[in-house]
Homo-oligomer: A and B are copies of this chain.
Amino acid sequence: MKEYITIKDLADQLHLSVGTVSKAFNPKYKDISDRTRQKILEAARKMGYVPNPFAQKLLKKKTLNIGIIVPEFSHSYFSEVIFSAQEKLLENDYQTLIMSSHESSELERKNIETLVNHMVDGLIISLCNGSLNHEYINDVIESGIPIVQFNRVSKKVNSPKVEFNDYKWAVFGTEHLISQGCQNLIHLALPRHLPLGHQRILGFKKALEKHRIAHKDHQVIEAGITVQDGEEAMSRYLENHGCPDGILAAGDPLAIGAMKILKRKGIAIPEKVKVMGFTESAMALVVEPELSSISQPTDQIGHLISKFLLDQIAGIDKSNEHYLFDGKLNIRESTSCTGQ
């Protein structure tokens, strides 16, 4: 066990009282001579003094910890947002406790409980697929722990929300496909209970209507999340309805799954069918042909969720905030014949 220098050690060394030494570290105390302050700071540096954060946390009744819960962090979207949030929080002297629910509502609940038990002053959360914890989370907020939701949010939870403008960018993505000549489009959608998936569906339909392209219900397929989900949905669709000429996937993994099946069947991308991803990941540049996708400003998202949470903690109410970020359409080979 490491032995740390305490304020008392410093005080003894310098023949001062602990009170005086403590004040030296806090600029708000002007009632201390510059000379003693310098002497104390100097000695502290030399002896390697660091204040005991637990004593501070105990006294101040603030944990200076923030919990972040995400459904998974193998996907780079979440690791990027986490890194950026952590950076911002650290600047404000907050430590970050990161947990993953692994898309399990139960584990999500356990994680929240762990963090709420005195560990954190606030919580940043992206709900897992099929989360049943709305009420519990509202209780947590009620009890005095502010929460910020991002990415996968629930309207039932009364907190600031940070999302991507899924509707708008689903329109843009679809319109890009249309502009490339697609007329028989499908949308590989996320599980229906994810609101962000719903917005993408609405955006897809809106674009079709705007361009007066008739469409039927079966053109929106509730596929899932993973590469495998994409494969299965694509296979099923091909069997039942033949080949579309444009696909808007609600996520890169879905798009990649679909591409696997198409390539296996010898259907040329982008000549016969154009494919568009969503929430760009590193994989977009690895598949062949390279996948057009919509990138999200993970850096800005991380900073904003931190800011909202810090505001809430400071008593500035942001619970009605609902910020929608814009992204970028990255056109690559999978949607542009000319790009070939």
Contact = CB atoms under 8 A, between A and B. Distances in A.
Interface of A: 1-4, 50-55, 57-58, 61-63, 73-74, 76, 79-80, 82-83, 86, 90, 95-100, 102, 114, 116-119, 121, 143-145, 227, 256, 263, 282-283, 285-288
Given A95-B119, A227-B285, A287-B287, A54 B50 contact: no
B118 A52 contact: yes
B256 A286 contact: yes
Contacts of A79: 73-74, 79
A289 to B, nearest CB: 10
A-B interface, 7 closest residue pairs, ranked by CB to CB distance from nearest: A2-B144, A74-B76, A54-B57, A50-B117, A54-B58, A54-B54, A74-B79
Nearest to A284: B286
Nearest to A283: B286
Nearest to A57: B54
A144 B95 contact: no
A119 B4 contact: yes
Contact of A288 (B52, B63, B102, B287): B287
Copies of this protein chain in the complex: 2
Contact of A118 (B50, B82, B100): B50
Contacts of A102: 83
Contact of A2 (B83, B86, B119, B286): B119
A64 to B, nearest CB: 9
A290 to B, nearest CB: 9
Contacts of A1: 61-62, 121, 144
A86 B100 CA distance: 10
A97 B99 contact: no
Contacts of A62: 1
B287 A118 contact: no
9 contacts: A1-B61, A2-B143, A52-B58, A53-B118, A73-B82, A95-B119, A97-B97, A227-B286, A263-B288
Nearest to A61: B1
A204 B105 CA distance: 45
Contact of A4 (B74, B90, B100, B118): B118
Contacts of A97: 95-97
Contacts of A4: 118-119
A266 to B, nearest CB: 13
Given A79-B74, A97-B97, A119 B286 contact: no
A54 B53 CA distance: 9
Given A54-B57, A74-B80, A283-B283, 19 more contacts: A1-B61, A2-B143, A2-B144, A4-B118, A50-B117, A52-B58, A52-B119, A53-B119, A54-B118, A73-B73, A74-B79, A95-B119, A96-B98, A97-B97, A227-B282, A256-B286, A263-B288, A282-B283, A286-B286
A53 B61 CA distance: 12
Contacts of A145: 2
